[in-house]
Structure 1
Amino acid sequence: MASSVSDITGPLDLRARSRRRRIRIVTVVAVLVAVLLAVGVYVVRWSGLMAADQVVVDGARLVTADQVRDAARVPIGAPLATIDLGAVGSRVAALEPVHRVSVHRAWPDTVRIRITERRPVYQLRDQQGYHWIDASGTAFHTTTASRRGTPWALTATRSTRLLRDVATVAASLDPALLKQLDHLEAGGPDSITLVLSKGRTVMWGSADESDVKSQVATAMVATKATHYDVSSPQNPTAR
C-alpha cells in the first residue's frame, strides 16, 4: 500500500509545479502587455514622437491650401491623437466655398483635410461683379467676368429664399432652352422670368413645378411668339 501512495504523489506534484509555472508565465505576459500598452498610450497621447507635423489639403480650388490651413488652426506640435478633428472640420466648413469637409489623422504626424467645394448653378450679377450661387442659394465666390457656360441672373433682393428659387429654376432648364437663354430676372419668389435671345421672354412665375415648366417652355419656344407664359404649366400661353 505504501508503494502505491508514493506512485500517485509524484505525478500530482509534477502537475502542481507545471500549473504554477503556467500561472507565472501568464502573469508575466499580462504584466508585459500592460506595460507595452501603457508605453503605447504615452507615446501616442503625450510624447512628441507622434505629434502633428504637417497639414495636407486636398480638393482646394477656389480657396488655397494655405487659406484652409489658416482656417483649420491645427495645433502643430500637439500629439496627433489629442487633436479635435471635429473642431478642425467645423472651422474649415465656415469658409464660403466649402460644401463638405472631412478630416482624419494620417499616422504618424499628418492631419489630412479633404474638401468638396460648392458648385455654381448660376451667377448673380450686380455692380460688384458676378457672384456664384449654389443650389442652396448660397453666394460663395465673386468674379469680375461672367463664368462661361453658367447662366446669370438679376434679382430684386438677395434673400436666401429668392436666390434658392432662382437656383431651382436655373437647374431645371432643358439644354435646348438653356442655349436660347440670355439671363434670368426675379422680381420676387412668384415673378421669375427667363429673358431669351431675340427679345423673347418666358414668364416662369414661382419655382414650383420647374421641371414640368421646363418641358413645356422648351416645346413652346419652337412656336413664333415674343412672350410665353408657363407660370401655370397646365395652361400655358404665347403671344
Structure 2
Amino acid sequence: MASTRKPTYRPGTEPRPGASRPGSGSDRVISAQRSIEPEGDSVAAPPPGATGASATGKSAASTASSDNVIVFPEPKRRRQRRLVMWTLSIVAAVVTALIAGAVFSPALAVRTITVDGTTLLTPEAVQKALSGLEGKPLPQVGEQEINELLKPLVQVRSATMEARPPSELLVHVNERVPVALLKQGDSYVMVDVDGVQLGATKDQSAVALPLIDAGAGATNTELFKAIAAVLDTLPADVRAKMSTASAASPDAVELKLVDGKTVVWGNAEDRELKAKALEALLKMPADPKVKVSVYDVSVPRHPFTK
C-alpha cells in the first residue's frame, strides 16, 4: 500500500529561559504525518457508535470484505465418494424392486411339476403329493416345503428341487433303497436299512432281494440292524445273488447265495472292505477240480474259500 509523508510545519514552542534550542537553533519544528490512501473501493470501518452515513459505510465495508472471501472447491475424492454412494443407492433400490416383483409375480407361478429319480414310486404319485404348489410363484417354493409335502410317501428319503422359469418345477427324488424282504403272513415286505417298509409282494422271486430269516425278529432288534447294515453295504449286483441272510448274534452274520453257497461275514467291522473282498471272490473263475461251498470274508485282508 502506497503511503506518503507530507512534511508540515507548525509553530514550535519557545524554549524556556535557559534551555538550549535543539538542532541547528531554528525557531520552527518540522514534524511529519503519515497519510494512507484507501485502495479501490475499500472503506475504513467507522468508529464505534457511528450512525447514519457511518452505518452505510460499515455495510459497504462488510460487503467488500465478503467479496474477498475465497471459496475452495470440494475435494475430488469426496465428490467421487458421494457419487458412488448415490449410484449404489439407486442400484439397490432397483434390484430390490425387481426381486420383489419376481417373488410375487404371477408370471412365475408353478404350472408344471416334473419328477425324476423314482423307481419304487411313479412320477404321478409324487406330482399328486406336490399338487398344492401349483399356482405358487417359483421363488417362494423351497426344498423344506417339498420334503414336508412328500413325508407321507415313505419311499422318499429326501428330495431336491430345480426351478426352471417361467413356470416349471423340477423335483429330484432320492428314494430309500430296499435291502431285504421280511415274511409277513402270505406276503413279502421290502424293507430298507432302517427297517422302513417300502412295499409288498406275493411272489418272492419277483424281487431280487434276500429274505431275512424270521429268527432275526422285528426290525428294531440288534440282529436285524446287523444284517441290514451288511446287506446295505453290498453292491446291488452282489446283493441280488443273495437268497437269505441270518445271524446267530450281531457278530456272526451269514449270507446264503441263490446257488446254495454260504458267505461267512462275521461282525460289522470293516464292512466296506469285506464287501470288496466278497465281490472279488465271486468274480473268480470257477475251477471244476475245486469245489467251493463257502466264501469266508470275516478277515477281509485274508479272505478264503473252502
Equivalent-residue separation in structure 2 for 1:193 and 1:199 (angstroms): 12
1:166 CA displacement: 1.0
**Aligned residue pairs, count:** 208
Q: TM-score, normalised by structure 2?
A: 0.50
Q: Verify: 1:85 aligned to 2:143, yes or no.
A: yes
Displacement of 1:78 after TM fit?
A: 2.2
C-alpha distance in 1, partners of 2:157/2:266?
29
Aligned partners of 1:169, 1:202: CA distance in 2, in Å? 12
Give secondary structure in 1 for the equivalent of 2:150. helix
The TM-score with structure 1 as length reference comes to 0.61
Query: Where does residue 210 of structure 2 map in the other structure?
Result: 151
- Displacement of 1:107: 1.0
Q: CA RMSD in A?
A: 4.6
Give the superposition deviation at 1:229. Answer: 11
Corresponding residue SS for 1:96: coil
Structure 1 CA distance for aligned equivalents of residues 128 and 291 of structure 2: 56
Moved more, 70-79 or 95-104: 70-79
Please give the residue correspondences for 1:97-136 in structure 2 after superposition, counting only pairs within 5 Å: 97-136=155-194
> Aligned with 1:63: secondary structure?
coil
Q: Which 5+ residue runs of structure 1 have no aligned equivalent? A: 1-25
What is the one-letter code of the residue matched to 1:81? P
- Mapping 1:1-239, distance limit 5 Å: 37=95, 40-72=98-130, 74-92=132-150, 95-146=153-204, 147-154=206-213, 155-159=216-220, 161-170=222-231, 171-172=233-234, 182-186=243-247, 189-190=250-251, 192-195=253-256, 206-208=267-269, 212=274
Q: Which residue of 1 aligns with 2:50?
A: none
| Partner amino acid, structure 2, of 1:123 | L
Distance 1:110 1:224, change over 3 A: closer
Larger RCO of the pair (alpha carbons < 8 Å, separation 6+): 1
Question: Which residue identity lines up with residue 100 of structure 1 in the other structure?
Answer: S
Contact conserved, 2:143 with 2:159, CA < 8 A, in 1? Answer: no
- Taking the aligned partners of 2:262 and 2:110, their CA distance within structure 1 comes to 58
Q: AA paired with 2:147?
A: G
CA–CA distance in 1 between the matches of 2:240 and 2:118?
A: 29
